[in-house]
Amino acid sequence: MEFGIVELSRLQFAVTAMYHFLFVPLTLGLSVLVAIMETVYVMTSRPIWRQMTKFWGLLFGINFALGVATGITMEFQFGMNWSYYSHYVGDIFGAPLAMEGLMAFFLEATFVGLFFFGWDKLSKVAHLVVAWLVAIGSNFSALWILIANGWMQNPVGAEFNPMTMRMEMTDFFAVLFNEVAQAKFVHTVSAGYVTASVFVIGVSAWYLLKGRHIELARRSITVGAAFGLASAFSVVLLGDESGYSATHSQKMKLAAIEAMWETHDAPAPFNLVGIPDQEARETRYAIEIPWAMGLIGTRSLTTEIPGINDLVANAEERIRSGLVAYEALLEVRENREATDPAVTATFEEHSADLGFAFLLKRYVENPLDASEAQIVAAANDTVPTVWPLFWAFRIMVGLGFGFIATMAYFFYRASFKGMRFPRPALHLAVWMIPAPWIAAELGWFVAEYGRQPWTVDGVLPTAMSVSALSMTEVALTLAGFVLFYTVLFIVEMGLMLKYIRKGPFEDVEETEAWNAHHHARLAGRPTADAASQSDLKPAE
Amino acid sequence: MILHDLISYEVLRVIWWGLLGVLLIGFALTDGFDMGVGALLPFVGKTDVERRVAINTVGPVWEGNQVWFIVGGASIFAAWPPLYAVSFSGFYLAMFVILAALIVRPVAFKYRSKRDDPRWRSSWDWALFAGGAVPALLFGVAVGNVIQGVPFYFTDDLHTIYEGAWYMKFIGLLDPFSLLAGVVSLAMLVMHGGAWLTLKAEGAVQTRARRIGSIAALIAVGAYVLAGVWMAVGMEGYRLVGEYVTNGPSNPLHFEVERSASWLTAYADRPWIAIAPLMGIGGGLLTFLGLRAGREVSTLLVSKMAILGVISSVGLTMFPFIMPSSSDPQSSLTVWNSSSSHLTLFVMLVATVIFMPLILIYTAWVYKVLWGKVTEADVSDSSSSAY
């Protein structure tokens, strides 16, 4: 493949987006975990829970700064590098981004300052409300971003307007309640919760291994494991939901992930592992689980899932139909004052396939000049490279099940074994810290690489979406971002490690005074079972 | 959905033109003083404690303030997609420099106080300086370019082509008029930062902020007047010609544009808009007096008035143009040819009407909680979470 402005722009987007997503999942999850910890503090008044809130809040803050900083790039990159995309779908895609700012980012960013600076300025309950507003803001942010992204995967509620040469919104609620977006949202925030849980458990496990901050670490693991277990189930289930919705919206992506070349009689088997061969269009050494694919993809035993070869044949038909639309479009534009109603009707009949005609722009300036061979080549272009998707997906899913197992184990030890954890499990928890990040990045890779060759599935090819920039410009900014982001990453990791090593600020005197006071109060009561009551809310 | 027909397309476009102004002005009024404080930082704080005082006056609020910028960008995307596409790709390298400055700023705020090493801290101080001064200057430069027209055109299928060599997307922007506009913007935000520090700081930091801020106020007013004179005597404007519809499809190629004698003919057509430049000049001069006299709350208010006047004067003078094209006037973006669809503008307006008041209420509450001066004692208290 020739490496041109399209590939360079894609590389830049991939680098900046994946870098941004190093920080996002932890922000999503840690904001909620911190708010939960502070809730326990407000309910029990135990100083240890405030110390936990402050400690994990501090790490949240270090991470949050980079999440915000790298998010700015994402917001502006569409206009900078993808200006035709911005023009072509801005009418739909821009709206959720603006809503994100109005509804979510303002909330999150306005209150995050107060979260750090407001400890002495606010009442306990008011500060707790602030913590929850930050968490809600962060999570709502994700909702709107995924509504925008979901529309790229499944462009509903919009149609092409020949007068403005762009897609325009026809039904806002269709965009809002896009099933792909909803499944992606829950899947993504759950992935964030798992990430934060693994992070909290891992760091706490390290403290336990070092024999430091035992009280704080055990409680943190307990919260992390309970929250993480629920989230790990959710992330896998909603991943499955995404797969189900992909069955009708993104058939090619699903077939590519599955390396399913031929349409199989229902219910199709699931290739557990195998070596996809793009040239020969077959998957070698496949180990199949009978029926599994049919069940996951269609939730029925009788519905067929189309294979890649059939989808390519379908794409070829749609290219031909798109060419009819393209020809009509030129005529509509030419005579916009008095268009022949027959031409308009032809255009409307075929306009859903217009994007497929644009696939030919890679080969010819005017799609109408395309040869038969070029039409066939363009149809073949609709198949993304299969093996990276096949493997990325399997590693992600494997990690997902690994999270469920780990979280279940820690939850069990925390709930039924008196918060005592064997050393090998603690070591495992420390080594597991990077795993959710790997899973999250692979998830985005599958979602976005699997959508190729489209930016908006079936509507706008990636190759057509770029700005008219020179290689020099994009290379310069790409180098700038890489350099800049690398420095920031090193600084960020340095600070994270410094503050993890330094550990939480434990006000021992305060904790002991509180405990002594608390026990004295309990001793004054008739019930002898003080130990089991020690976690209850003390009477004010 | 038929609801959106309640407000005509034409009216919605004008409303969104106004909201674009509201967001940009909101950004300048709030994040403006953050940038001003950043630009002033090396000069108002001579010791680490003094610098920390200055930083902590904006510490808890800059994050929320910056969202005005993000929402401004996203609203341009949502409500004016061609403007977003043309300006962000057209000012490509300048945008990158602004992005770099805005990326480094959050990190600098957050990370500066996390180590005691003086070299660490002074590096982040310069990052905060650049993060404030560079965007402040470049925003003005961008406006200067927009006023003169930008060399771009649309192809038949509305691809944007920016003319000229790639490096012209940065150094080409730095012509004398645009630099003058950059000076207006930088001086104005430094003035605003000075007014903010006057309110929030005391002692030496406040004294220096008042002195530098008052000088900046005079420079801002002087450069603004000079730019106005330049536009009156040495620059052509743009105007729509022929018959055109104001509620038709957003396609610049359906419109005819030619150069006019001057932008300032707008003041003959709509004399009432003169209130904007008068507010700009008057506000700037009052800020100068307020800073000299050591007034706190009222100085910040007149500084806001100056910013409101200066920014709205640009929009009101150019109306209905948003981004004219110097190389192909017909490609010029106006209120009538570069908006989103009727439905999208309506949906976005509903969201804005619901959420903007909420944002203003909770932002006001946060400022109220944080009311009062930041003192050296505040930042020296080791248990505080100050930056």
Measured CA to CA, the distance from residue A404 to residue B356 in angstroms comes to: 41
Query: Degrees (nearest 5) of the Cα angle A206, A27, A428?
Result: 25
Residue carrying the six token digits 């700064």: A65
pLDDT of A302 > 80? The answer is no
**Cα distance between residue B217 and residue B205, in whole Å:** 18
CB B230 within 8 A of CB A144: no
Q: Spell out which residues of chain B touch residue A498, defining contact as CB-CB under 8 Å.
A: 114-115
Calculate mean pLDDT across residues A321-325: 92
Token pair for residue B303? 């500084």
Which residue blocks in chain B are alpha helix, DSSP H? Answer: 9-44, 48-58, 62-79, 81-90, 92-111, 118-148, 176-200, 203-234, 266-269, 275-293, 297-318, 342-369, 376-380
| Among chain B residues, CA nearest to A120 | B384
Distance CA B216, CA B385 (A): 32
Closest in A72, A92, A113 to B70, CB measured: A72
**Residue A69: its pLDDT value, please?**
86
For residue A102, what are its two tokens? 């109005």
CA atoms within 13 A on the CB side of A245: 20
Residue of B nearest to A479 (CA): B96
- Give the mutation candidate from B3, B52, B53, B96 for the A interface (greatest A CB count, under 10 A): B96
Q: How many CB atoms lie within 10 A of CB B361?
A: 10
pLDDT tens digits along A468-491: 999 999 999 999 999 999 999 998
Q: What DSSP string runs through B330-381?
A: GG-EETTTS---HHHHHHHHHHHHHHHHHHHHHHHHHHHHT-S---HHHHH-
Chain A closest-CA separation from residue B167 CA (Å)? 8
To the nearest whole Å, the CA of B212 is away from the closest chain A CA by 28
Q: Which residue matches tokens 């903007």?
A: B356
A217: its two tokens: 């670490």
Query: What size, in residues, is chain B?
Result: 387
- Within 8 A of B386 by CB-CB distance, chain A residues are 117
CA-based nearest residue to A306, from A248, A392, A388, A245: A248
Average pLDDT, integer, range A502-511: 78
DSSP helix/strand/coil, A402? helix
Residue B181 CA, distance from chain mean position: 12
Q: Which residue has the tokens 């941004």?
A: A20
Name the DSSP letter for residue A268: P
CA pair distance B264, B275, nearest whole angstrom: 14
The pLDDT, as a whole number, for residue A292 is: 75
Would you call A340 helix, strand, or coil by DSSP? coil
pLDDT at residue A528 in the model: 42
Contact between chains at B86 and A111 (C-beta distance less than 8 A): no
Domain ranges of chain A: 5-250+384-502, 308-381
CB contact burial A366-404 (16+ within 10 A = b; e otherwise) = ebeebeeebbeebbebbbbebebbbbbbbebbebbeebb
Residues of B in contact with A164 (CB under 8 A): 158, 249-251, 341
| Residue A404 parent element (H or E) | helix A386-416
Residues of chain B below pLDDT 50:
none
Instruction: Fill in the amino acid letter for B150.
Output: V
The residues, any chain, with a CB within 8 Å of residue A308's CB and separated by 6 or more, are A252, A255, A256, A260, A261, A262, A281, A383, A386
Rg (CA), chain B: 21
Quick check: A242 and A410 in contact, CB under 8 A?
no
CA B127/CA A220 separation, integer angstroms: 36
Give chain A's radius of gyration (CA, Å).
27
User: Cβ neighbours of residue A205 under 8 Å, at least 6 residues apart?
Assistant: A217, A221, A421, A425, A426, A427, A429, A430
Chain B residues with CB under 8 Å of A83 CB are: 85-86, 88-89, 160
Name the residue among B67, B105, B254 with its Cβ closest to that of A109: B67
pLDDT, tens only, A12-66: 999 999 999 999 999 999 999 999 999 999 998 888 899 999 999 999 998 998 8
Q: What residue of A is the nearest CA neighbor of B108?
A: A65
Q: Which amino acid is at A481?
A: F
CB atoms within 10 A of CB B197: 32
pLDDT of residue A536: 42
Helix, strand or coil, per DSSP, at residue A366: coil
Residues whose CB falls within 8 Å of the CB of residue B301, separated by 6 or more in sequence, listed in order? none
Distance between CA atoms of A444 and A184, rounded to whole angstroms?
10
Place of tokens 């050591």: B294
- Beta strands B152-154 and B160-162: pairing type? antiparallel
Interchain contact B81–A (C-beta under 8 A) = yes
Which residues are CB-neighbours of B372 under 8 A, at least 6 positions away? none
pLDDT of residue A1: 53
C-alpha A373: how far from its chain's center? Answer: 38
Q: Does position A537 have pLDDT exceeding 60, yes or no?
A: no
pLDDT at A296: 73
> Which residue from B383, B373, B382, B322 is spatially nearest to B53, judged by alpha carbons?
B373
φ, ψ of residue A285 to 5 degrees: the values are 50, 35
Chain A hits for B85, CB-CB cut-off 8 Å, are 79, 83-84, 86-87, 90, 467
Q: What percent of chain A has pLDDT over 70?
A: 96
Q: Do A75 and B341 touch (CB under 8 A)?
A: no
pLDDT of residue A252: 87
* Nearest-CA distance A496 → chain B (Å): 10
CA dist., res. A92 & res. A51, Å (int): 45
Q: What are phi and psi of A434, to 5 degrees?
A: -70, -20
Is residue B285 a contact partner of residue B221, using CB atoms and an 8 Å limit? yes
Confidence band of A298 (pLDDT split at 50, 70, 90): confident
Contact A497, A503 (CB under 8 A): no
- Compute the distance between CA of residue A263 and CA of residue A273 in angstroms, rounded to an integer: 18
Distance from chain centroid for Cα B148: 18
Is residue B187 classed exposed, middle or buried when 0-12, 13-18 and 19+ CB atoms within 10 A define those classes?
buried
Share of chain A above pLDDT 90, in %: 56
Chain A and chain B share a number of CB contacts under 8 A equal to: 249
Q: Which residue has the tokens 């957003």?
A: B250
On whether the CB atoms of residues B39 and B193 are closer than 8 A, the answer is yes
Mean pLDDT for A169-183 is 91
What DSSP state is assigned to residue A269?
A: P
Give the pairing type, strands A270-277 and A158-161. unpaired
CA angle A333, A336, A341 (to 5 degrees): 100
The amino acid at A157: G
Sequence-distant (6+) residues with CB within 8 A of A301 are: A266, A267, A291, A294, A295
Q: What is the value of ipTM here, to two decimals? A: 0.91
Whether residue B345 contacts residue B339, with contact meaning beta carbons closer than 8 Å, is answered with yes
B333 bridge partner residues: B323
Q: Find out whether A279 and A221 touch, Cβ atoms under 8 Å.
A: no
Show which of residues 290-309 on chain B sit within 8 Å of chain A, judged by CB atoms.
none
Residue contact B103–A81, C-beta within 8 A: no
Amino acid identity of residue B197, one-letter, is: L
Burial of A502 (0-12, 13-18, 19+ CB in 10 A): exposed
Q: Is B301 helix (H, G, I), strand (E, B) or coil?
A: helix
- Rounded to a whole number of angstroms, the distance from the CA of A287 to the nearest CA of chain B is 47
Distance in angstroms (rounded) separating the CA atoms of residues B251 and A94: 18
Domain locations in chain B?
7-378
Residues in a beta bridge with A283: A276
Give bridge partners of residue A168 from the DSSP assignment. Answer: A159
pLDDT at A540 over 50: no
